[in-house]
């Protein structure tokens, strides 16, 4: 609401010769409003009061909109897809008792946050997404080859293929959890006996394929981030054609894991972009000031010049504040 007021003030100060002429005050300034008793407030007078507060937000939005739309013109389809998806999700969150879209409820909520329409709000969503692209690119620009190579050496792995047997507790009680653990330990012991007698590990596991008291599953190939961390770590620690000798606990229950195969990891050049995305995300998470500095640098790159020294001073103070708050 306050942003809209400032936009109107800025617009009035720029409009000349449109419709009703704007009266001049005795000091030569254009009048903004006038009371019945003759009291008037000029555009300049109101501007002086708001330029270091609400006006700065409006001006920065205009600056960033121009810069970011030019900077990411080649990604407009991606940006629009994000906004469209966001809008669909937003509308789905506001439904009446019959499950139908409740536009009035959404508009009331938007009004409470100072937006006059969903289009106005979605424009802010769009700018925010563009700002996130700028922050990511800025974080990437800070990456070194060593950081990328170290991540590749330490974190990038090939896909692995596994089979597992899952024993789920019947309930959340300690007794049922202990019973599931005991059954998992007994299953491992039985597999060990089969293997000692000459049965292959694969066949020893497959005996449980039709056991209704457990879940036997061939998982196929997967990589880091696709399984719960405890399962994933245990699976990657195994050698190919080996299995876990202790049950692995996850939120599902107790697992016995057999590692069938492991592929060579991709070459660095093939995964460099993914690594950069991951490391940039980590940097932004660790240091929120990077998002602020990203926009400061872009504004400087695009040659933003302030002609109002007070507004420029307010901008510099605001940027310092944001950096200090995010550190």
pLDDT, one tens digit per residue, over 165-215 is 999 999 999 999 999 999 999 999 999 999 999 999 999 999 999 999 999
d(CA 69, CA 127): 9
DSSP letter at 40 equals E
Residue 112 CB neighbours (<10 A): 9
Give pLDDT, residue 56: 86
CATH number of 158-262: 3.10.50.40
Predicted TM-score (pTM) of the model is 0.74
Structure-block tokens of residue 299: 């504004």
DSSP letter at 262 equals E
Q: How many whole angstroms from its chain centre is CA 187?
A: 42
Give pLDDT, residue 15: 39
d(CA 171, CA 276): 43
- What distances in angstroms separate CA 179 from CA 29, 156, 164, 218, 256, one per listed residue? 85, 37, 19, 24, 15
Give pLDDT, residue 1: 43
Are β-strands 160-167 and 215-222 bridged in parallel, bridged antiparallel, or unpaired? antiparallel
Per domain, the residue ranges of the chain are: 73-156+274-327, 158-262
User: Could you say which residues of the chain have pLDDT below 50?
Assistant: 1-19
- What distances in angstroms separate CA 173 from CA 85, 185, 246, 308, one per listed residue? 41, 19, 21, 68
Give pLDDT, residue 44: 77
DSSP letter at 1 equals -
In the chain, % helix, strand, coil (3-state, to 5) comes to: 60, 10, 30
First to last CA, the chain: 31
């Amino acid at each position: 609401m306050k942003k809209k007021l400032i936009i109107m003030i800025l617009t009035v100060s720029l409009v000349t010769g449109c419709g009703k002429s704007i009266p001049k005050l005795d000091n030569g300034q254009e009048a903004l409003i006038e009371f019945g008793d003759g009291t008037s407030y000029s555009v300049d007078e109101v501007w002086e009061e708001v330029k270091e507060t609400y006006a700065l937000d409006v001006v920065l939005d205009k600056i960033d909109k121009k810069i970011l739309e030019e900077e990411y013109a080649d990604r407009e389809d991606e940006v629009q897809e994000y906004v469209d998806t966001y809008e669909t999700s937003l509308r789905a969150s506001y439904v009446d008792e019959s499950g139908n879209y409740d536009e009035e409820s959404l508009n009331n909520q938007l009004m409470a946050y100072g937006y006059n329409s969903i289009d106005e709000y979605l424009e802010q969503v769009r700018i925010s997404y563009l700002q996130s692209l700028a922050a990511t690119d800025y974080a990437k620009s800070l990456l070194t080859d060593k950081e990328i190579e170290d991540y590749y050496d330490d974190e990038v792995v090939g896909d692995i293929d596994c089979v597992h047997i899952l024993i789920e507790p019947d309930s959340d009680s300690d007794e049922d959890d202990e019973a599931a653990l005991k059954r998992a330990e007994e299953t491992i012991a039985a597999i060990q006996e089969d293997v000692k007698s000459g049965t292959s590990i694969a066949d020893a596991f497959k005996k449980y394929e039709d056991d209704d008291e457990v879940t036997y599953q061939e998982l196929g190939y997967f990589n880091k981030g696709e399984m719960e961390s405890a399962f994933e770590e245990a699976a990657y620690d195994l050698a190919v054609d080996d299995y876990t000798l202790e049950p692995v606990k996850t939120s599902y229950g107790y697992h016995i894991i057999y590692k069938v195969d492991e592929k060579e990891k991709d070459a660095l050049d093939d995964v460099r972009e993914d690594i950069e995305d991951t490391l940039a995300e980590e940097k932004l998470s660790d240091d929120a000031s990077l998002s602020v500095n990203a926009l400061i640098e872009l504004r400087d790159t695009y040659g933003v010049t302030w002609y109002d020294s007070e507004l420029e001073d307010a901008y510099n103070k605001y940027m310092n504040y944001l950096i200090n708050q995010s550190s």
